Structure 1
Amino acid sequence: MTVAEQKVTWARVAQVQSLSEAHDLLPRLMPRNGADPAELRKFHEKSAAVYQRVAELDRGHHHEALYWADREARLAREVDGA
């Protein structure tokens, strides 16, 4: 079974080792359009944590992963208009 065929879960995303894996899997967990703001905020908060962890694991993409972690954290804050 290929990665594309596997059901993506937060447990699976917690195992990513690279920025490319995070980029591949996280969009599959993105809440649908019109989702509850709390659900959207939670998605962005969890995504930020994934990218933060990836920044330490995928050292060749450290700064890029930090950018994505910051972006996701900012998007989480903006859900409520903060």
Structure 2
Amino acid sequence: MEFLGISWVEWIGYVAMATVLISFLMKSVTKLRIVNAFGCLLFVSYGFMLQPISKPIIITNIAILCINILYILKRQN
């Protein structure tokens, strides 16, 4: 399935990229980490949807997601 000549898997990648980029526009570090974490989740999904799956995308974004979650939880205490 395609939209504007781009596959839906590629669209997930573009949305993930835009989400991560937008996260760096946040003034609040906590908001930045939350939006960035969502972008990481999208990138992990994208990595699994690629055929063959992309381990570097998956591993990197899981690591960044864990770091974001760690700092979000630290900030709440």
The structure richer in strand per residue is 2
CA RMSD of aligned residues (A): 3.2
Name 1:49's counterpart in structure 2.
41
Any unmatched runs of 5+ in structure 2?
1-7
Paired-residue identity, %: 4
TM-score by length of 1: 0.52
Any unmatched runs of 5+ in structure 1?
1-14
Name 1:21's counterpart in structure 2.
14
Q: CA deviation at 1:66?
A: 0.8
The one-letter code of the counterpart of 2:57 is A
* Structure number with bigger Rg: 2
Partner SS state of residue 32, structure 1: coil
Which contiguous aligned blocks of 4+ residues in structure 1 show a shift greater than 3 angstroms?
Answer: 18-24
Q: CA deviation at 1:16?
A: 5.2
Aligned residues: 67
